[in-house]
Chains A and B, each alone.
Chain A
Amino acid sequence: MAIADLANPTRFLKFANRTIPWLGGLTVLVFAYGIDQAMLAPDDYQQGATVKIMFLHVPSAWLGMLGWGVMSVAALGTLVWRHPLADVAAKAAAPIGAAFTLLCLVTGSLWGRPEWGTYWVWDARLTSELVLLLLYLGVIALWRTVEDPSRAARAAAILTLVGAIDLPIIKFSVDWWNTLHQGASVFRVGGSTIDSSILVPLFIMAAAFTLLFFTLHLAAMRNEILRRRVRTLRLMQASAVS
């Protein structure tokens, strides 16, 4: 099946029905291996055992941003290319991205208390991450407020592209401002500052979370296509009766 064929919702549903069980199974396997490696990883010489929170916090942060990235590409698909599944992909990604952003903030607070002595501080990294969560909630509210899916899609696409400005702010906030949050330690010029005994489990957990994201996204897209079919059929039924 060519990728272009997936633009057809019926073909996409067939593809999703076939792919979701395999992707879900692979996600479980990678998670099992990742959690095993994370638990076996040594304590950090400074942070001690609390470094185990990093295996959840960092992938959640990446996926919160990836979710908005997926929505931004989909927003272009809606506004520029008018791809039939672009707004379906954007709508489906929003609650998943919001959930990972929330998880990032919660685990960050739980990590911050023993390391910094506080659950929260209004520094640039934490605040820009909170802004991302509020943007997610705004897009979800917009989708729910506008009844016509195509009108909602255009409005949500514009808000998504405007909100994408927050992504580089989150990434570079620790470089641009003096923050309590530590600077980049994984993807940075000169290589990672994390020892491989901790870095490798982190990447495995990140792979597991990414697989989970795409499994859930595919399933949520399938749900959205079915929801739109229900809506169309109800409109047909209403027009037939009236």
Chain B
Amino acid sequence: MNAVNHMGFIVASYGAAVAVVGALIAWVSVDYHTQRLRLADLEMRGVTRRSAPAQSGPAVEQAKEKA
């Protein structure tokens, strides 16, 4: 087998692997930062879980008033 003739297939395979693994890492990283930002935004507006430390905010105050 001539390595030069088949180099394109080998390079394409490793390129595909880099693309797929890179896409997976990018997806996980972007998703993590997106969820962290969304959580921070909600907590900044005073929306927290019951098990989380008590905080004040417009949505929580409204919920308390309703209760």
Contact = CB atoms under 8 A, between A and B. Distances in A.
Interface of A: 10, 43, 46-50, 52-53, 56-57, 60, 95-96, 99-100, 102-103, 106-107, 110-111, 113-114, 212, 216, 219-220, 222-223, 226-227, 229-230, 232-234, 236-237, 239-241
Contacts of B20: 99-100, 102-103, 106
Would you call the interface of chain B mostly helix, strand, loop, or mixed?
Answer: helix
A236 B9 contact: no
B3 interface: yes
Nearest to B30: A223
Given A233-B39, A233-B49, A50 B24 contact: no
Nearest to A238: B59
Interface of B: 1-3, 5-7, 9-10, 12-14, 16-17, 20-21, 23-25, 27-28, 31-32, 35-36, 38-39, 42, 45, 47-49, 51, 59-60, 62-63, 66
Given A57-B13, A99-B24, A233-B42, A47 B1 contact: yes
A223 B47 CA distance: 19
Contact of A52 (B10, B32, B42, B66): B10
Nearest to A225: B35
